[in-house]
Amino acid sequence: MINFNYETNFSLENEALISSWITKTILSEEHQLEEINYVFCDDTYLHKLNVEFLNHDTLTDVISFDYSVGKIIQGDIYISVERVADNAKDFKVPFSEELHRVMIHGVLHYCGYKDKTEADAQLMRAMENHYLKVLV
């Protein structure tokens, strides 16, 4: 089950389509979906979580809490809509593309992909691009 929660004046278009896309991504990665809660918020809300839970006093676009066990995916993904909008401008991409990238990025982490090394980051970006094409 995928849940979409809103802590700011924003709402996703096509929740059913996005939910189906995420579910299919998880299945194609040979994992099983238990539950993912997306929480869309603003910079202030996400900054507070970043300081409280990660001891990072910085703004960020996404924080994910992974409760997965083995190949059963479960977690909470918090996304700052403000940060995504700023990043979309910086990267010169549509807001929806950047939002979908951030959304699938968290899911790919749950499926075992990492991004700390250059090689891992390149693979993560390739997988994001692959699944973004599937959505379109």
Q: How far apart are CA 14 and CA 71, in angstroms?
A: 27
Whether 47 has a binding-site annotation, put simply, is no
Reported as a single tens digit per residue, the pLDDT across 72-103 is 999 999 999 999 999 999 999 999 999 999 99
Reported as a single tens digit per residue, the pLDDT across 45-54 is 999 998 988 8
Element (H, E) at 132: helix 118-135
Question: At 32, phi and psi to the nearest 5?
Answer: -120, 135
Reported as a single tens digit per residue, the pLDDT across 21-56 is 999 999 999 999 999 999 999 999 999 998 988 888
Contact 10, 96 (CB under 8 A): no
Whether 76 has a binding-site annotation, put simply, is no
Please report the domains of the chain, with CATH numbers, ordered by start residue. Answer: 2-135 (3.40.390.30)
Percent of the chain residues topping a pLDDT of 70: 99
Q: Rounded mean pLDDT of 3-21?
A: 95
Whether 90 has a binding-site annotation, put simply, is no
Is the pLDDT reported for residue 116 higher than 90?
no
